[in-house]
Chain A
Amino acid sequence: MTIVSQRRIACYASLFTLVFALVLASPVRAQNANADAVPQKEVAAKLAYCEVCHGVSAQGFNGYYPIPRLAGQQIAYIENELQGFVEHKRTNNIMFNVGHVLSPAMIRALATDFHDLNPKPLGGAPKDMASAGEKIFQQGLPDAGVPPCASCHGAEAKGNDQFPRLAGQLYPYLVSQLTNWASERGETNSNVMAPIAHNLTPPQVKAVAAYLSYLE
């Protein structure tokens, strides 16, 4: 072989190595949920848009519908719910539209930002039911097949990974979710809640919701 063609082979080899390395390092190929992959300005704009409905500091908002608090929410729970909306496992047209344009990285960035917010609860629930609600939350209703909520949601209702935070959640939102559980949520990982929601009577639902809505 001549010297020229050896050089040419070496040149092609290094070019190939460079391209190969670039492809492996490409974030597109990785498809990860790395929150740093989204420009901060875009995340801030998207967060402001979420807060139009979900309230200042994502504390929730009593609009035509009760729009839930996202502040302090578990990151894994937010991610699961957004996925549920997009896949129509959880039925909500407005949240479907919101969710299906979000990249995994954007979802991770938003969920992290929401998790870090900590405004006071919106309040407004009837206070007289709260102590009955606390009892159900901590002890459950063994005769009715209702386990203590605290066993999965935590003693302070802050949640854990896929189990959502309930502390400070809006009273009318909690009531409507527990009352209509099966009609909105399908066969997602939240089907553990279906029999529980079903076994609670309306006064019990209101009591638990009132208690939770005041927790910080």
Chain B
Amino acid sequence: MHAWRSATAVGLRAAFLAAVLTAAFAGSGRADDVQAKLGYCKDCHGPSAQGYRGYMPIPRLAGQQPQYLENQLRAFIEHRRTNNIMFNVAHALKPGMVAALAESFRKLNPPPIGGAPLGLIAAGKNIFENGVPDANVAACAACHGPEATGSGEIPRLAGQLYPYVIKELTGWGHERGQIPARADTSAIMSPVAHSLTKPQIEAVAAFVSELR
């Protein structure tokens, strides 16, 4: 009886410890887990999350608005934004990990990788600051801020990859907002992306890609 009681006690103590540890580590990312996951993100997104021109342009995450990152990861998981690779990445992330990663990315500040045609920048600046009123294109600065740093759920564009911005604006409706019944904030950009011409997209993309 004595042996049985202590076995139970040990068992209970172990179970209690396991529960406490699970609770402690489920709510927040353990520091080394976050670092490991961050390293994994950087495999594609670049050593300082500055982005990478791979087979597909992989976007800069450095300095990104945490709320925007979290919204996008959720959109990937729910297939509102279609990208098979990011679906696989995102759906394995615990909520505490998402917040920790977003905060880590926010603090990074590498210079832009550049590479856009510099001759387009002046035209891009004009569109960014003034919009194209005759074509019903709102000034990007109105929501993204005068230096394209974004705010809250509105993404930072400063230093974003030139080919990535072009790809996003050109194919907006094909990748984002894929579940019309569950419209999300990506709907705001639909009329803008739709109204911009190809040269205008390239100009704006060149301009933001050089911003620090």
Contact = CB atoms under 8 A, between A and B. Distances in A.
Interface of A: 45-46, 48-49, 52-53, 61-65, 67, 93-94, 97-98, 100-101
Interface of B: 129-131, 133-134, 136-139, 141-146, 149-152, 154, 188-189, 191-192, 195
A52 B188 contact: yes
Q: Which of A45, A46, A97 gathers most chain B CB within 10 Å?
A: A97
Given A48-B191, A62-B152, A64-B144, A93 B130 contact: yes
A52 B138 contact: yes
Q: Which of B134, B137, B138, B146 gathers most chain A CB within 10 Å?
A: B138
A49 B134 contact: no
Q: Which of A49, A52, A94 gathers most chain B CB within 10 Å?
A: A52
A53 B142 contact: yes
A165 B170 CA distance: 39
Given A63-B151, A64-B143, A53 B138 contact: yes
A71 to B, nearest CB: 16
Contact of A63 (B129, B137, B154): B154
A75 B136 CA distance: 21
Contacts, number: 57
Nearest to B144: A64
B136 A63 contact: no
Given A63-B151, A64-B151, A49 B137 contact: yes
Contact of B131 (A46, A62, A65, A94): A94
Closest 4 CB pairs of A and B: A64-B145, A49-B136, A63-B143, A101-B133
Nearest to B143: A63
B194 to A, nearest CB: 10
Nearest to B149: A64
A194 B130 CA distance: 28
Q: Which of B133, B137, B141, B191 gathers most chain A CB within 10 Å?
A: B133
A57 B143 CA distance: 17
B142 A94 contact: yes
A43 to B, nearest CB: 11
Given A63-B151, A64-B144, A64-B154, A97 B133 contact: yes
Contact of B133 (A48, A53, A98): A98
B150 A64 contact: yes
B178 to A, nearest CB: 19
Contacts of A46: 136
A52 B192 contact: yes
Contacts of B138: 49, 52-53
Contacts of B143: 52-53, 61, 63-64, 67
